[in-house]
Amino acid sequence: MVSEFALQVRDRVKDLINIDEGNCGTCHRVLREISEQGGYASCWERPDGIRSKIYDDNGNVVGEGEGITWPPAILFAMVEGGFFTPEVEQELVQSLQCIIDMEKVADIYGYGRVVTPVAAAYKEVWKEGGHVEIRRNNWGIEVVFYDADGNELAVGPISYCPTCGTAAALPRYPELAERIKAQLQGVHNTGRDKYEREIETRFMYKRGRVYVEIFENNDRIGRSMACCIAYTAVKAEIKAGISGPKWGALFKEYCRVCPVKLCRNAKSDTGRAGNLIISDLEQKDMDTDVSINTYVTAQVRRDKEIMGQGIGTVCAFSSLLNAAARSIKLRSELGDSREIVEE
Taking only the tens place, the pLDDT of each residue in 176-219 is 999 999 999 999 999 999 999 999 999 999 988 999 999 999 99
Q: Which residue has better confidence, 259 or 235?
A: 235
Residue 249 belongs to a domain = no
134 and 103 together in one domain = yes
Kindly tell me if the per-residue pLDDT of 291 is higher than 70.
yes
pLDDT at 293: 84
- Average pLDDT for 321-342: 73
Alpha helices in 81-222, H assignment, sequence order: 86-94, 102-108, 115-127, 162-169, 174-183, 190-196
Does this model's pTM top 0.75? My answer is yes
Residue 251 belongs to a domain = no
Residue 253 belongs to a domain = no
210 and 278 together in one domain = no
234 and 300 together in one domain = no
Say if residues 271 and 287 touch (Cβ distance below 8 Å).
no
In this prediction, residue 264 has a pLDDT band, given cuts at 50, 70 and 90, of low
Say if residues 48 and 113 touch (Cβ distance below 8 Å).
no
Task: Give 127-168 pLDDT, tens digit per residue.
Answer: 999 999 999 999 999 999 999 999 999 999 999 999 999 999
Residue 254 belongs to a domain = no
Which residue type, as a one-letter code, is found at position 62? V
Residue 250 belongs to a domain = no
- The domain boundary, picked from 214, 244, 274, lies at 244
218 and 304 together in one domain = no
Q: Return the exposure string of 70-82: e unless at least 16 CB atoms fall within 10 Å of the residue's CB, then b.
A: bbbbbbbbbbbbb
207 and 319 together in one domain = no
22 and 80 together in one domain = yes
d(Cα 189, Cα 172) in Å, to the nearest integer?
23
Write down the mean pLDDT value for the chain: 91
**Angle, vertex CA 70, rays to CA 13 and CA 121, nearest 5:** 125
Sheet of 131-137, strand order: 152-155, 140-146, 131-137, 287-293, 295-302, 305-312
| Kind and range of the H or E run holding 274 | helix 270-283
Query: DSSP secondary structure string, 68-118?
Result: SSHHHHHHHHHHHTT-S-HHHHHHHHHT-GGGTTHHHHHHHS-TT--HHHH
- Average pLDDT for 231-249: 88
d(Cα 327, Cα 150) in Å, to the nearest integer?
26
- The domain boundary, picked from 244, 276, 303, lies at 244
Q: What is the CA radius of gyration of the chain?
A: 19
- The domain boundary, picked from 212, 244, 276, lies at 244
311 and 235 together in one domain = no
**Which range of residues forms the domain containing residue 207?**
1-244
169 and 24 together in one domain = yes
Which residue type, as a one-letter code, is found at position 248? G
In this prediction, residue 343 has a pLDDT band, given cuts at 50, 70 and 90, of very low
pLDDT at 252: 78
231 and 272 together in one domain = no
Residue 272 belongs to a domain = yes
In this prediction, residue 314 has a pLDDT band, given cuts at 50, 70 and 90, of confident
Say if residues 129 and 148 touch (Cβ distance below 8 Å).
yes
Residue 128 belongs to a domain = yes
> What is the percent of the chain where pLDDT is above 70?
95
Closest listed residue to residue 39, CA positions, set 66, 12, 72, 69: 12
238 and 270 together in one domain = no
Kindly tell me if the per-residue pLDDT of 304 is higher than 70.
yes
Strands 152-155 and 305-312 turn out to be unpaired
Kindly tell me if the per-residue pLDDT of 269 is higher than 70.
yes
Residue 258 belongs to a domain = no
Closest listed residue to residue 272, CA positions, set 214, 205, 326, 213: 205
162 and 282 together in one domain = no
| Kind and range of the H or E run holding 238 | helix 229-239
E strands, the chain, where? 40-46, 49-55, 61-67, 131-137, 140-146, 152-155, 200-206, 209-216, 219-226, 287-293, 295-302, 305-312
Kindly tell me if the per-residue pLDDT of 239 is higher than 50.
yes
d(Cα 143, Cα 322) in Å, to the nearest integer?
20
The number of beta carbons lying within 10 Å of the beta carbon of residue 148 is 11
Closest listed residue to residue 17, CA positions, set 77, 75, 94, 64: 75
Number of domains the chain is built from: 2
Contacts of 84 (CB under 8 A, 6+ apart): 10, 14, 17, 30, 78, 92
149 and 74 together in one domain = yes
